[in-house]
Every structure is written in C-alpha cells, then in structure tokens.
C-alpha cells in the first residue's frame, strides 16, 4: 500500500543544512495499523507530511496505492489526497460550522450532491458515535468529541489511508483510549490502512501491528509491536518500552522493596504471548524449596499478543533459588535478577 524508498528531507537552517529525514525505507501493508514513534526532532512529523505531499522529499520516492506521491502535482495530487486523509493533534475544525457541516466540508469540495452528502454525513456521525451532537459547534464539544469529528471528516471521501499526527496528544488518558479503540474499530470495519506518529508507547502498544522507531531522522528499529516489546535493541527503544512496562512509580516501589527484602533475590520476569497464561509461580512453589513473594506485576495487551512483567522476591538456599531461575528460563520466560541478597 505504502512504499517509502531511500527518502531524505533536508531543510536550510542558520547553521547550514538540517537533515530532518535521513535515508528512510519502509513498506506498509494494506489494512495495517503502522506506528512511528520518536521524541521531538526525530523527523516523524516531516515523514508523515511527505506521505500526503505537504512536504516533498529531497531524495527518494514515496508511492501510495500505485501513485508516486513525491512526483505528482496539481489536480493529480488533489485527487490523491482524497484517498490519503489526515487527523491532527489540535483537531483543525472549522469553528463556525456545526459537527455535520464540518464532516460535510470535504464532500462539498469533492462536488458530492446534497442528498448524497447528507446521507454520508449521517453514516459517519453514527460510525464515530456522535449521534445527537450533529448540530453542536466545536466550542460545545469535549476534546474527544472534537477528535471524533476530525476522524469522521477524514473518512468522508472513503480514503484508503488515514494519517494520524499525534492525534491523541491533547487528550486525557481515558479519552485517548476511547479514540484509539475507535481507530481499531474503523481499521477492522473498513480495512483502512492507518499510519500514526506519536511519542507515547502506550498508543503504539494499544493499537499498532508494527512500529518504526525514529531517532535523528533515521529508522533505528523496526518490527512487530510484540517483538519490539520482547526484544528492544536500541537504547531509545528500551526507554519507550519502559514507559509501559516499568513506569516511574515501579522504580520507586522496587527501591522500597529492596530495603524490605535484604535476603534472597528480587527478580523481574517477562512474559510474552502464551507464556502469560501459564501457572508459573504455582509450579515453582510446588517444585522448589523456596518462598516466593509477588511484589508487583502488569500485563499489557498488543494487537499481536500479550506482554507481561512480574517482580517477585525469592528466598531460600542459594542452590534452590538458582534451580528455580533455571526452570523459569526453560519455560521461555525472561528473567532478570534485580538484587542478590
């Protein structure tokens, strides 16, 4: 669906040339939810703007649904943009128009006739869950409702690709989750290809099938979300994964627990996919002469499986503890010793 080949983007600056995107190569499949994550300045916003022709690459080519977006201009580019919609962090709604009028706007531009336009708007209002709010103005809506209007408007012309530029960054966590669930639902119902950029690993974890990690204009890591959670390779990727698996309060809790349990070992277990379902702790207690205290745990669900972390304290003879650690390894569960008492 989307082919990005050897793409680079250079901007002039006071100190010479700034390479915002540096030799990026990506293939995004039809019907996929693909995430691009990076901190500010990584180049992700520039990359997504090149996907709909808002920016042109300095080098390389971008092809979407058979069209070379990086080469076309004028009416051909306008036609292509009807198939490549975008939603934004700050909604970009027309404040003097109602919900229905905002959604209808791209249909008006496309020359869709009144009755057909009205029918399509009604379909979209229902799809995004805004029944009863059709005549409200943006100032009367919550942040989540505004983004639902933005999504409905983006879907008006039946696009093949939906680009999401930090679409949930301005929303609270609960509203963010509801918008992400809506995007997953739209992806499944319509088979829509979704490309989103974010700096939040929670967003990637919740809805994406694959993810590319960007740093200094380059793709430094690429894979399925579950694989990236399971085996993050780059330091930046490990920091992003820790946003979800080891939030700041976890570190404080562990430091406190280490004071409470000076003997034995504090161990972090990592479960992926089916290993999250097995009765591991029960089996350890039955088979080894050690005492186990469960300290803290969390299971995160991705589109391709579950990923869990569990902190436990193991107390007993050193050789029995080592046997238990070896057993955990044999069960395809990751083990990291946090402390040795």
Task: Let me know if residue 252 belongs to a domain.
Answer: no
Domain end position, chosen among 188, 209, 244: 244
The CATH number that applies at residue 321 is: 3.30.70.260
Q: What's the domain range around 322? A: 259-340
Residue 47 parent element (H or E): helix 44-51
- Please indicate, yes or no, whether residues 48 and 154 belong to a single structural domain of this protein: yes
- pLDDT computed for residue 273 by the predictor: 64
Task: Let me know if residue 16 belongs to a domain.
Answer: yes
Domain end position, chosen among 213, 244, 275: 244
- Please indicate, yes or no, whether residues 122 and 147 belong to a single structural domain of this protein: yes
Separation between Cα atoms, residue 273 and residue 335, nearest integer Å:
16
pLDDT tens sequence across 41-64: 899 999 999 998 889 999 999 999
Report residue 308: phi and psi, to 5°.
Answer: -130, 150
- Please indicate, yes or no, whether residues 326 and 194 belong to a single structural domain of this protein: no
Task: Let me know if residue 53 belongs to a domain.
Answer: yes
With bands split at pLDDT 50, 70 and 90, how would you rate the model's confidence at 151? Answer: very high
Q: Report helix, strand or coil for 218.
A: strand
- Please indicate, yes or no, whether residues 282 and 188 belong to a single structural domain of this protein: no
Which of 240, 248, 246 is CA-nearest to residue 223?
240
With bands split at pLDDT 50, 70 and 90, how would you rate the model's confidence at 265? Answer: confident
Separation between Cα atoms, residue 98 and residue 133, nearest integer Å:
9
Separation between Cα atoms, residue 318 and residue 324, nearest integer Å:
10
Task: Let me know if residue 276 belongs to a domain.
Answer: yes
DSSP string for 49-116? HHHTTSS--SEEEEEETTEETTT--HHHHHHHHTTEEEEETT----TTS-HHHHHHHHHHHTT--HHH
296: CB partners within 8 A, 6+ apart: 250, 253, 254, 257, 310, 311
Task: Let me know if residue 253 belongs to a domain.
Answer: no
Q: Is the pLDDT of residue 76 over 70?
A: yes
- Please indicate, yes or no, whether residues 214 and 142 belong to a single structural domain of this protein: yes
- Percent of the chain past pLDDT 90, that is, above it, reads 53
Separation between Cα atoms, residue 71 and residue 53, nearest integer Å:
9
Number of domains into which the chain is organized: 2
The CATH number that applies at residue 127 is: 3.40.50.300
What are the structure tokens assigned to 304, written together? 């391709």
With bands split at pLDDT 50, 70 and 90, how would you rate the model's confidence at 258? Answer: low
Mean pLDDT, range 247-256, rounded to an integer: 63
Q: What is the pLDDT of the chain when averaged over all its residues?
A: 88
- Please indicate, yes or no, whether residues 177 and 227 belong to a single structural domain of this protein: yes
Separation between Cα atoms, residue 179 and residue 177, nearest integer Å:
5
- pLDDT computed for residue 179 by the predictor: 93
Cα Rg, the chain, nearest whole Å = 24
pLDDT tens sequence across 152-210: 999 999 999 999 998 888 888 899 999 999 999 999 999 999 999 999 988 998 899 99
With bands split at pLDDT 50, 70 and 90, how would you rate the model's confidence at 129? Answer: very high
Task: Let me know if residue 251 belongs to a domain.
Answer: no
- Percent of the chain past pLDDT 70, that is, above it, reads 93
Q: Is the pLDDT of residue 248 over 60?
A: no
**Residue 171 vs residue 220, higher pLDDT:** 220
- Please indicate, yes or no, whether residues 59 and 135 belong to a single structural domain of this protein: yes
Domain end position, chosen among 195, 211, 244: 244
What are the structure tokens assigned to 24, written together? 């990026």
- Please indicate, yes or no, whether residues 154 and 10 belong to a single structural domain of this protein: yes
Q: Are 80 and 69 in contact (CB under 8 A)?
A: yes
Task: Let me know if residue 254 belongs to a domain.
Answer: no
**Residue 13 vs residue 136, higher pLDDT:** 136
With bands split at pLDDT 50, 70 and 90, how would you rate the model's confidence at 246? Answer: low
Q: Are 95 and 149 in contact (CB under 8 A)?
A: no
Q: Are 162 and 154 in contact (CB under 8 A)?
A: yes
Separation between Cα atoms, residue 341 and residue 329, nearest integer Å:
20
- Please indicate, yes or no, whether residues 88 and 162 belong to a single structural domain of this protein: yes
Separation between Cα atoms, residue 278 and residue 259, nearest integer Å:
30
Q: Is the pLDDT of residue 339 over 80?
A: no
Q: Are 161 and 144 in contact (CB under 8 A)?
A: no
pTM of the model: 0.82
Task: Let me know if residue 54 belongs to a domain.
Answer: yes
Query: What residues does 24 pair with on adjacent strands?
Result: 7
Q: Is the pLDDT of residue 274 over 70?
A: no
With bands split at pLDDT 50, 70 and 90, how would you rate the model's confidence at 91? Answer: confident
Q: Measured between alpha carbons, how far apart are the two ends of the chain, in Å?
A: 54
- Please indicate, yes or no, whether residues 165 and 287 belong to a single structural domain of this protein: no
- Please indicate, yes or no, whether residues 301 and 233 belong to a single structural domain of this protein: no
- Please indicate, yes or no, whether residues 311 and 180 belong to a single structural domain of this protein: no
Mean pLDDT, range 288-306, rounded to an integer: 80
- pLDDT computed for residue 300 by the predictor: 73
35: CB partners within 8 A, 6+ apart: 195, 196, 197, 198, 203, 204, 207, 208, 210, 211, 212, 225
């Amino acid at each position: 669906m989307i082919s990005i080949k050897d793409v680079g983007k250079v901007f002039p600056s006071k100190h010479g040339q700034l390479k915002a995107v540096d030799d990026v190569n990506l293939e995004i499949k039809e019907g996929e939810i693909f995430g691009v994550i990076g901190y500010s300045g990584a180049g992700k916003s520039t990359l997504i703007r090149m996907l709909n022709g808002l920016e042109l690459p300095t080098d390389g080519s971008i092809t979407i649904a058979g069209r070379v977006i990086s080469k076309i201009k004028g009416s051909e580019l306008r036609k292509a943009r009807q198939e490549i919609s975008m939603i934004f962090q700050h909604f970009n709604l027309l404040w003097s128009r109602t919900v229905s009028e905002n959604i209808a706007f791209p249909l008006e531009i496309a020359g869709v006739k009144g009755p057909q336009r009205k029918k399509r708007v009604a379909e979209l209002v229902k799809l995004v869950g805004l029944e009863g709010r059709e005549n409200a103005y943006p100032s009367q809506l919550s942040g989540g409702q505004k983004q639902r209007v933005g999504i409905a408007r983006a879907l008006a012309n039946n696009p093949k690709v939906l680009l999401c530029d930090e679409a949930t960054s301005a929303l609270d966590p609960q509203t963010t989750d509801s918008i992400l669930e809506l995007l997953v639902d739209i992806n499944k119902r319509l088979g829509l290809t979704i490309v989103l950029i974010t700096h939040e690993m929670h967003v990637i974890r919740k809805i994406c099938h694959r993810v590319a990690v960007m740093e200094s204009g380059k793709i430094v890591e690429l894979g399925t979300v579950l694989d990236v959670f399971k085996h993050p390779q780059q330091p930046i990727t490990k920091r992003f994964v820790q946003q979800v698996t080891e939030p700041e309060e976890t570190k404080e809790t562990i430091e406190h627990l280490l004071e409470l349990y000076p003997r034995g070992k504090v161990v972090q277990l990592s479960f992926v996919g089916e290993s999250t379902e097995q009765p591991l702790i029960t089996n350890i207690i039955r088979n080894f002469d050690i005492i186990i205290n469960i300290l803290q745990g969390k299971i995160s669900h991705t589109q391709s499986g579950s990923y869990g972390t569990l902190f436990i304290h193991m107390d007993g003879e050193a050789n029995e503890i080592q046997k238990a650690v070896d057993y955990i390894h044999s069960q395809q569960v990751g083990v990291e010793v946090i402390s040795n008492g």
